[in-house]
Amino acid sequence: MKLLAELWSSSVESLVGLGAVVRFLLRLLVDTPRALLRPDLIAQQVYNSGALSLVIIMLSGLFVGMVLGLQGFQLLQRFGSEEALGTAATIGLVKELGPVVTALLFAGRAGTALASELGLMRATDQLSAMEMMAVDPITRVVVPRFLGGVIAMPLLAAIFSVIGIYGAQLIGVQIMGVDSGSFWSQMRASVGLSDINEGIVKSCIFGVMCSLIAVYEGYHATPTAEGVGRATTRTVVTSAVVVLFFDYLVTAAFL
């Protein structure tokens, strides 16, 4: 009985939390047109979330691609179909690993930066000071950061996939000796637009989710050192779970 009551109250609590996040998202969307009048602020945030994450995204993409090349080669060799390596690696990267790994890295690199920045702005009264200067911090600070992340994420995922394919090619063709012509031609023949679309849809959804979670947690952080730390941790954990959950949903939807 007690367990049931606890289960009930905790599910009510999470529903209330979810409602608060959705309301926050609606508020961001309402303020978006006004924020679009200041493209310089958004560009700055695309730089912060995107350009500054480039190195980690490119490095990870290269290594993930190389591992795919190695594993894929080992597996396909057993069936004597090494030429399919290009197809296998590309499908894996574009549909799955590109968006998902990029989103996880994005949450760790850009999401935590956003959450701790906003949390510290709250803790040091910068957000209250803006309100006192009759400047809405949602429009001026939160929405540009949210939009910056939303724009940066699909671009980063695309870069990740491209570098990953290059990494797979590096191992498969240059080292393991798969025929270069068949690697590329098989890939081109069997990777369709729908595969790429799936990747784009996923990375767009992940971009919205990760950015929303980061700005929500940061904006609502308890204004103490501990509170900002907790907000940062929650950003990464929640983003990871939400990304993997939506990954399954979108994959199922595209079948």
Binding site for another protein (CB under 8 A): 120-121, 124-126, 128-136, 140
Could you give phi then psi for residue 139, rounded to 5 degrees?
-70, -40
- For 127, residues 6+ apart whose C-beta sits below 8 A from its C-beta are 118, 121, 137, 141, 219
Closest approach, Cβ 128 to another protein, in A, equals: 7
Q: Choose between 128 and 194: whose C-beta lies nearer to another protein.
A: 128
Task: In angstroms, give the least distance from the CB of 134 to another protein.
Answer: 4
Q: CA nearest 194: which of 98, 99, 95?
A: 95
| CB closer to another protein out of 6 and 131 | 131
Least distance in Å: CB of 36 to another protein? 16
**Minimum CB separation from another protein for residue 17, in Å?**
20
Separation of alpha carbons 212 and 218, rounded Å: 10
The smaller minimum CB distance to another protein, of residues 194 and 224, is found at 224
Residue placing its CB nearer to another protein in the complex, 132 or 252: 132
Please, which residue, 135 or 175, has the CB nearer to another protein? 135
Contact between 164 and 68 under an 8 Å Cβ cutoff? The reply is yes
Residue ranges in the chain assigned as alpha helix (H): 2-36, 39-49, 54-78, 85-91, 98-106, 112-123, 126-132, 137, 143-169, 180-190, 193-219, 225-254
Shortest distance, position 143 Cβ to another protein, whole Å: 14
Q: Which residues of 66-79 are buried (b: 16+ CB within 10 A; e: fewer)?
A: bbbbbebbeebeee
